[in-house]
């Protein structure tokens, strides 16, 4: 008998029929002798509906009150799913985040979980109940309802699994696992049986469609066994996200090829090479709430250096305007930019022990005549910035180069 | 400075614009120096939408889970109203029933309030906040969310007013007070400045369109000053529901003419006149969940008696079938029925000290050639059952007879 936490996203519980299907799946799982705690999101579209309603009332709604409103989305789902479970002959009890004391800080609309009181759930589980908990929400120390930010239900599930010391945390979604790359770009893309937490984090562009990154960090920290599965298929083991030591020794060097479309890069040329310069440039960008992806600064010469970074293409114009403002203050020479770029990354913990992965990657791209505009590397990832027209070609070439289209 | 509890129903908060209007009304009230606790219902249509959703998932939803789902309707409104209040420059905090510890029993979907912890509200009020509380809901001793049944928001408001020892509990609705009778039947009907709790209870047919009867009982018991007002008009004092002693000595004898359409009567003739007979007849009816209104049993003769009662017309066929089953057991002679009747009642605490009201009523009806089929009286009400075709005529005649169309 195992204790399993299962999380179903908004699409999986998007209408009454799907809710009944999820209930049947859970009931058959429990019938196999497992204890099940289920975490659910709001029905798809519901959170957006509630936010729109709030903005109609007040253009800039108070965060505490917005959480009061938004948290009802998940509360509806837990009640409906518990009803459906009882209809499927399964004893069940629904709980809001507050009722199982998912204690968070008081940062409304993006609160962090501090602790969970598992005693009540443990008692109900031992009495044979399925527990259905509202994801995305908690309460602060004063009893105010908080929410965890978009995608927070994944984090709720992992936090519950950690608190209950569950054997596994299963994230059911509309894909059946994590792939070596996007199958729409490379039809030969394969589903990975396992991937490490670090790789999941580095594969944000692939992984974020499947799992909220914050929940992966959380799972890594608390050693929660995390599995991604499809809620629309009855077969399949999905992808297990695990720690490196538990992986097969014969793992390939590279686990996947991730990519980002819609990127733009900006470079400030001839910046005086002195302390605080990077902060002055990127601080101004951060203050404007623009997310920066890669940041590159190479060695300087003649007392100046060049600082480059990439942003989402939608922020290109705004970021350029900000740099123009900073340029004079810094005494920089010039600003250049390119909003027709993409980023392609090879990710794999295997590269730690296999030198030469980078040069293998650069050669493969050179062989296809693809020019590399920027390079950035981490322990387990090599990223290149390319002209956007090369995206599909580069992904396919790298996928083949690292043998990802071959069955392990 | 007064402490006022105001309750706004679903129509009054039916869309974002109305919510902002209600917020402005509350803000101007607070600006006059009053402390305000606001109780709100779900936006109109929302509770029905949630119930329909639940029934789509499970035809006969579990009551605990139904309460989990239904209670979100009011939770959305409190968040929206609190946002709007802050937008109107008014410090405000919303609370669910659970957050201010509206403790109820565990009868899901029709729970009864046991107690309210007013400490948190008192603290927030003293700090200058408007408190916005979700009506219709509470929590039981185990922390489960409960609801109070249809119209329970009125009861929530009265209970909060009692717990806070508020100076007045104002129920804002889409009518501007309690009338001497339905103005659609008698255009001369007048709004009452005051009415006693007992009269409100006896005028259920008029009053229930305005106030949930249970909240009136509650207000009477805890001596809460209750006022009905329109949320769509800025002027007007509405109708104050009060105890008899506080009323003007010159009150008219009769306060209003109430009526029920869509009634049906059933009579079991020649029932053996022995103990337990009424129970055998009406117990069977109650078991079938049929609401019985009037019950009449006159003195018997020749060892038998006749038992009559009225039900909602929709239950006539079902009730007749049940009586047929009981007839043989009891050895009764015959069952008769009439599903084309109505009930008209004159209500007024003044009749306690004014004999002759009944005969005045019967004479007025006789003068118009209206035949009375049944009569039933209480301390402050005289009800007659008539052929349904006489309803409007009888109401108009009695309204005039008791001088209700004249300004006091």
* Domain A256-401: CATH architecture, name and number where available: 2-Layer Sandwich (3.30)
Q: How far, in Å, are A77, B54, B266 from residue B305 at the CA level? A: 56, 48, 14
Give the gap in angstroms from C-alpha A116 to the nearest C-alpha of chain B: 16
- Kindly determine whether residue A78 and residue B56, on different chains, have CB atoms separated by under 8 Å: no
- Kindly determine whether residue A86 and residue B58, on different chains, have CB atoms separated by under 8 Å: yes
Determine which of B58, B94, B106, B146 to mutate to test the interface with A (most A C-beta atoms within 10 Å). B58
Please tell me which residue of chain A has the smallest CA distance to B23.
A57
Confidence of residue B226 (pLDDT cuts 50, 70, 90): very high
pLDDT of amino acid B234: 74
| Rounded Cα distance, A117 and A102, in Å | 7
pLDDT at A249 over 60: no
| Rounded Cα distance, A190 and A252, in Å | 13
Asked if the C-beta of A94 comes within 8 angstroms of chain B's C-beta atoms, the answer is yes
Contact A322, A280 (CB under 8 A): no
Boundaries of every domain in chain B:
3-174, 256-401
Asked if the C-beta of A50 comes within 8 angstroms of chain B's C-beta atoms, the answer is yes
How buried is residue B252: exposed, middle or buried, by Cβ count under 10 Å (0-12/13-18/19+)?
Answer: middle
- Kindly determine whether residue B62 and residue A86, on different chains, have CB atoms separated by under 8 Å: yes
Asked if the C-beta of A109 comes within 8 angstroms of chain B's C-beta atoms, the answer is no
Asked if the C-beta of B256 comes within 8 angstroms of chain A's C-beta atoms, the answer is no
Q: Which pairing describes strands A92-95 and B304-312: parallel, antiparallel, or unpaired?
A: unpaired
- Kindly determine whether residue B75 and residue A71, on different chains, have CB atoms separated by under 8 Å: yes
Q: Looking at residues A42-51, what average pLDDT do you find?
A: 96
pLDDT at A60 over 60: yes
- Yes or no: is domain B3-174 CATH 3.40.50.12280? no
Determine which of B21, B23, B68 to mutate to test the interface with A (most A C-beta atoms within 10 Å). B68
Query: Which tens digit of pLDDT belongs to each residue from B151-191?
Result: 799 999 999 999 999 999 999 988 888 899 988 899 999 99
Asked if the C-beta of A79 comes within 8 angstroms of chain B's C-beta atoms, the answer is yes
- Kindly determine whether residue B76 and residue A94, on different chains, have CB atoms separated by under 8 Å: no
- Kindly determine whether residue B76 and residue A78, on different chains, have CB atoms separated by under 8 Å: no
| Rounded Cα distance, A257 and A383, in Å | 10
Q: How far, in Å, are A2, A212, A259, B279, B337 from residue A228 at the CA level? A: 17, 11, 20, 63, 67
What is the three-class DSSP state of B144?
coil
Confidence of residue A344 (pLDDT cuts 50, 70, 90): very high
Please tell me which residue of chain A has the smallest CA distance to B72.
A72
Give the gap in angstroms from C-alpha A133 to the nearest C-alpha of chain B: 12
Contacts with A28 (C-beta within 8 Å, 6 or more apart), sequence order: none
Query: Which tens digit of pLDDT belongs to each residue from A99-117?
Result: 999 999 999 999 999 999 9
- Kindly determine whether residue B72 and residue A72, on different chains, have CB atoms separated by under 8 Å: yes
Q: Looking at residues A124-142, what average pLDDT do you find?
A: 97
Residue B253's nearest CA partner among B182, B136, B148, B359 is: B359
pLDDT of amino acid B127: 95
Asked if the C-beta of A76 comes within 8 angstroms of chain B's C-beta atoms, the answer is yes
Asked if the C-beta of A11 comes within 8 angstroms of chain B's C-beta atoms, the answer is no
3-state helix, strand, coil in chain A (%, to 5): 40, 30, 35
Q: Looking at residues B32-36, what average pLDDT do you find?
A: 95
* Per-residue tokens: B32: 């006059």
**How confident is the prediction for chain B on average, in pLDDT?**
91
| Rounded Cα distance, B244 and B211, in Å | 19
| Rounded Cα distance, B92 and B29, in Å | 13
Phi and psi at B355, nearest 5°, equal: -65, 160
Name which residue leads in pLDDT, A3 or A278: A3
Give the gap in angstroms from C-alpha A361 to the nearest C-alpha of chain B: 52
Picking from A72, A79, A143, the nearest residue to B66 by CB comes out as A79
Please tell me the pTM assigned to this model: 0.82
**Is there a shared CATH topology between the B3-174 domain and the B256-401 domain?**
no
- Kindly determine whether residue A61 and residue B83, on different chains, have CB atoms separated by under 8 Å: yes
Picking from A65, A80, A145, the nearest residue to B69 by CB comes out as A80
Query: Which residues on chain B are in Cβ contact (under 8 Å) with A67?
Result: 79
Asked if the C-beta of A104 comes within 8 angstroms of chain B's C-beta atoms, the answer is no
A10 in a known ligand binding site: yes
Query: Which tens digit of pLDDT belongs to each residue from A369-402?
Result: 999 999 988 888 999 999 999 999 999 999 999 9
In eight-state DSSP terms, residue A348 is -
Name which residue leads in pLDDT, A85 or B247: A85
- Helices and strands, counts by H and E, chain A: 13, 18
Query: Which tens digit of pLDDT belongs to each residue from A182-206?
Result: 888 999 999 999 998 888 888 876 6
pLDDT of amino acid B1: 82
Phi and psi at B7, nearest 5°, equal: -120, 130
Asked if the C-beta of B137 comes within 8 angstroms of chain A's C-beta atoms, the answer is no
A67 in a known ligand binding site: no
Query: Which tens digit of pLDDT belongs to each residue from B40-69?
Result: 999 999 999 999 999 999 999 999 999 999
Contact B102, B116 (CB under 8 A): yes
- Kindly determine whether residue B65 and residue A56, on different chains, have CB atoms separated by under 8 Å: no
Picking from A58, A72, A98, the nearest residue to B83 by CB comes out as A58
Give the gap in angstroms from C-alpha A77 to the nearest C-alpha of chain B: 8
Give the gap in angstroms from C-alpha A4 to the nearest C-alpha of chain B: 22
Give the gap in angstroms from C-alpha B167 to the nearest C-alpha of chain A: 28
Query: Which tens digit of pLDDT belongs to each residue from B233-284?
Result: 777 889 999 876 665 555 678 999 999 988 999 999 999 888 888 888 988 8
Of the listed ranges A173-182, A202-211, A369-378, B211-220, the one predicted with least confidence: A202-211
Query: Which tens digit of pLDDT belongs to each residue from B117-147?
Result: 999 999 999 999 999 999 999 999 999 999 9
Please tell me whether the interface predicted TM-score (ipTM) of this complex is above 0.85. no
pLDDT at B287 over 80: yes
What is the three-class DSSP state of A138?
strand
Confidence of residue B291 (pLDDT cuts 50, 70, 90): confident
Residue with tokens 């340029």: A327
Confidence of residue A230 (pLDDT cuts 50, 70, 90): confident
Determine which of B69, B86, B89 to mutate to test the interface with A (most A C-beta atoms within 10 Å). B69
In eight-state DSSP terms, residue A179 is B
- Number of C-beta neighbours around residue B276 at 10 A: 9
Query: Which tens digit of pLDDT belongs to each residue from A135-151?
Result: 999 999 999 999 998 77
In eight-state DSSP terms, residue B210 is T
pLDDT at B28 over 80: yes
Please tell me which residue of chain B has the smallest CA distance to A62.
B83
Give the gap in angstroms from C-alpha B76 to the nearest C-alpha of chain A: 5
pLDDT of amino acid A245: 63
- Kindly determine whether residue A57 and residue B94, on different chains, have CB atoms separated by under 8 Å: no
Query: Which residues on chain B are in Cβ contact (under 8 Å) with A96?
Result: 68, 145
């Amino acid at each position: 008998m195992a204790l399993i936490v299962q999380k179903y996203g908004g699409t999986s519980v998007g209408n009454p029929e799907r809710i009944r299907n999820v209930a049947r799946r859970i009931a058959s799982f429990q019938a196999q002798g497992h204890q099940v705690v289920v975490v659910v999101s709001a029905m798809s579209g519901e959170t957006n509906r509630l936010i729109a309603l709030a903005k109609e009332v007040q253009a800039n709604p108070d965060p505490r009150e917005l959480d009061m409103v938004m948290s009802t989305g998940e509360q509806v789902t837990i009640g409906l799913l518990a009803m459906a479970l009882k209809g499927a002959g399964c004893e069940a009890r629904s709980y809001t985040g507050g009722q199982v004391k998912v204690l968070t800080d008081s940062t409304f609309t993006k609160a962090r979980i501090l602790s969970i009181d598992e005693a009540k759930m443990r008692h109900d589980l031992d009495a044979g109940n399925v527990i259905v908990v509202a994801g995305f929400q908690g309460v602060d120390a004063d009893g105010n309802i908080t929410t965890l930010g978009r995608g927070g239900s994944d984090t709720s599930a992992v936090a519950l699994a950690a608190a209950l010391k569950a054997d596994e945390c299963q994230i059911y979604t509309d894909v059946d696992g994590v792939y070596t790359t996007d199958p729409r770009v490379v039809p030969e893309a394969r589903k990975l049986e396992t991937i490490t937490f670090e790789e999941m984090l580095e594969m944000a562009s692939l992984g974020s469609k499947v799992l909220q990154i914050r929940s992966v960090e959380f799972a890594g920290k608390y050693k929660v066994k995390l599995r991604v599965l499809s809620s629309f298929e009855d077969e399949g083991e999905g992808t297990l996200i695990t720690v490196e030591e538990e992986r097969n020794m014969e793992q390939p060097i590279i686990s996947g090829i991730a990519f980002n479309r819609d990127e733009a890069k900006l470079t400030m040329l001839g910046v005086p090479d002195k302390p605080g310069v990077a902060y002055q440039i990127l601080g101004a960008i951060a203050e404007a709430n623009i997310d920066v992806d890669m940041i590159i600064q190479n060695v300087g010469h003649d007392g100046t250096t060049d600082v480059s970074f990439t942003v989402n293409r939608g922020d290109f114009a705004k970021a350029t305007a900000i740099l123009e403002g900073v340029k004079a203050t810094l005494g920089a020479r010039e600003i250049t930019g390119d909003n027709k770029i993409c980023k392609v990354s090879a990710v794999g913990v295997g590269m730690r022990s296999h030198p030469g992965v980078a040069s293998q990657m650069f050669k493969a791209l050179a062989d296809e005549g693809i020019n590399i505009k920027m390079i950035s590397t981490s322990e387990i990832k090599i990223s290149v910035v390319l002209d956007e027209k090369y995206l599909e070609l580069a992904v396919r070439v790298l996928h083949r180069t690292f043998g990802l289209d071959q069955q392990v």
